[in-house]
Amino acid sequence: MTRDSDEIRAYVDGELDKLTAARIAREAESDAELASAIAAERSLREALTAHFAPVLAEPVPERLTTPIDAARKIVSLDEIRNQRFGFNARTLRWAGPAMAAALVLALLIPGLRSGQTETRDGLTFASNDLARALDSQLVADQRQGDETRILLSFADEEGTLCRGFARADVSGIACRRGGGWHLRVQRDGIDVSANDYRQASSVDSAIMEAAQGMAAGPALDAAAERAAKERGWAAQ
């Protein structure tokens, strides 16, 4: 296969010029590995859409849109993304307006403190601020000033509830286990103070891809997530 993963993603997203796209289409007719890679990328897009559609159907809370609207009075966010941060908009197309609002909000949150984890029987669990956020925060009710962003909640194949999250020191997916939150996926944190949109995009995309492989169904919508919180995140 002569095409790298970035070029394949761009092809599936329709970002390539017509000539290059036509060449890749012709190559895929005789290159089984390339054809398989393209099919896998398309399958991932479809799965992500199915997982996040319920969450994205929910209206973005006013408490999230207010600081964004205020920022627009001062500077164009599109201009900032394109000229200053070089932000890759592909992540927003996958995850939609709710993720866009979360990313913008991340830039507005100052003074993030480090979170902590602890080890139990050789497994890593959330503790302190991270554990409290996983216990209490809902995707639809997040506020400016929250140190942890909850990206989504979902159930795995065994019915265990899991939550994708991002913060300055660590990001990942934590699943309910023994009354705590076991970190089953860990990624780099998002350094909000550095205003690095590329990093935020990369980390969130990695978490979403991991969630797609773990989830038994779509992400919980606002009502289902609130009900899960009310029952202590116990499997239903």
* Tens of pLDDT, residue by residue, the chain (236 residues): 778 888 888 898 888 899 998 999 999 899 989 988 888 888 777 766 665 566 556 666 665 566 555 555 544 445 434 444 343 445 444 444 444 444 444 443 333 335 568 998 889 999 999 999 999 999 888 777 788 889 899 999 999 999 999 888 889 999 999 999 999 999 888 754 444 444 455 667 788 888 988 999 889 999 999 999 999 999 87
Task: Report the 10 Å Cβ neighbour count for 72.
Answer: 12
**Could you tell me if 88 and 10 lie in one domain?**
no
d(CA 57, CA 230): 22
Judgement on whether residues 41 and 60 belong to the same structural domain of the protein: no
Residue 83 CA, chain-centre distance (Å), reads 23
In a domain, 235, yes or no: no
* Same domain for 95 and 40: no
119 and 48 housed in the same domain = no
Look up the pTM and report it: 0.54
Last residue of a domain, one of 22, 38, 54: 54
Q: Distance between CA 185 and CA 68 in Å, rounded?
A: 30
Which residue range forms the structural domain that includes residue 153?
56-230
Instruction: Verify that 141 and 204 share a domain, yes or no.
Output: yes
Order of strands, sheet of 161-166, starting from the edge strand that comes earlier in the sequence:
116-120, 123-127, 180-188, 170-177, 161-166, 149-155
Number of domains in the chain: 2
Based on the fold, state whether residues 81 and 121 are members of the same structural domain.
yes
Q: Is residue 49 domain-shared with residue 83, that is, in the same domain?
A: no
Give domain status of residue 170, yes or no. Answer: yes
